[in-house]
């Protein structure tokens, strides 16, 4: 079957299962519309300084983590079990068998196009949903607790901030913020094209 970009677990690592990523936030907005990076930048820039700090990026993490737990915890056990984790449509696609080929394909796309916006992923970005769950379940309880979810979101957003802060100034300008989005877009397009090329329509991945 053909896979949509939404089903590609690329940048989020294991955190695609839980994190509210910056691009995901950007997709929210008007009816079917996407908010421009500049609009999202202004929303995050709480002190209107014209630059984002890590603290601003991590604002309301506890609230976001609680909402994620509440949505997924259908049996009200205060943890997200594997079955609940896999119930999410975007967690039902396993590309692990294609991981090495996808990485090689994206590398070829970058080399052939010369597009430096394309980021070549590592094979672990395409780990199975079960592996991603296990990576998040740091206390080996068999469920994802609120502290584990909070840690996952914090780690993901911190990694994103560091990727944006290309000059290591400890803040992110609107230019860096926008460049990050452009890179993600180019990477998604390349990854989707590779998956469409490598995964047969009839293959029940």
Question: Three-state DSSP class for 102?
Answer: helix
Percent over 90 (pLDDT), the chain: 76
Q: What is the pTM of this model?
A: 0.78
Question: Three-state DSSP class for 42?
Answer: helix
Which tokens is 19 given? 């994190």
Q: What is the pLDDT of residues 116-159, one digit of tens each?
A: 999 999 999 999 999 999 999 999 999 999 999 999 999 999 99
- Considering only CA atoms, which of 102, 156, 150 is closest in space to residue 124? 102
pLDDT for res 20: 39
In the chain, beta strands by DSSP E:
51-52, 80-81, 143-144, 172-173
pLDDT band at 199, cuts 50/70/90? confident
């Amino acid at each position: 079957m053909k896979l949509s970009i939404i089903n590609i677990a690329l940048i989020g690592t294991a955190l695609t299962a839980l994190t509210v990523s910056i691009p995901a936030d950007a997709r929210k907005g008007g009816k079917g519309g996407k908010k421009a990076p500049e609009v999202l930048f202004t929303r995050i820039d709480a002190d209107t300084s014209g630059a984002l700090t890590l603290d601003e990026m991590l604002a309301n993490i506890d609230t976001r983590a609680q909402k994620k737990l509440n949505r997924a915890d259908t049996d009200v056990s205060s943890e997200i079990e594997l079955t609940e984790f896999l119930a999410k449509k975007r967690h039902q696609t396993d590309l692990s068998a294609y991981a090495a080929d996808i990485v090689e394909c994206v590398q070829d796309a970058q080399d052939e196009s010369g597009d430096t916006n394309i980021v070549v992923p590592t094979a672990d970005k395409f780990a199975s949903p079960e592996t991603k769950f296990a990576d998040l379940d740091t206390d080996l309880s068999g469920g994802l607790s609120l502290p584990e979810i909070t840690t996952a979101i914090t780690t993901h957003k911190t990694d994103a901030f560091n990727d944006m802060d290309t000059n290591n100034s400890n803040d992110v300008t609107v230019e860096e913020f926008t460049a990050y989005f452009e890179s993600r877009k180019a990477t998604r397009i390349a990854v989707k094209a590779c998956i469409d090329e490598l995964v047969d329509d009839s293959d029940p991945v």
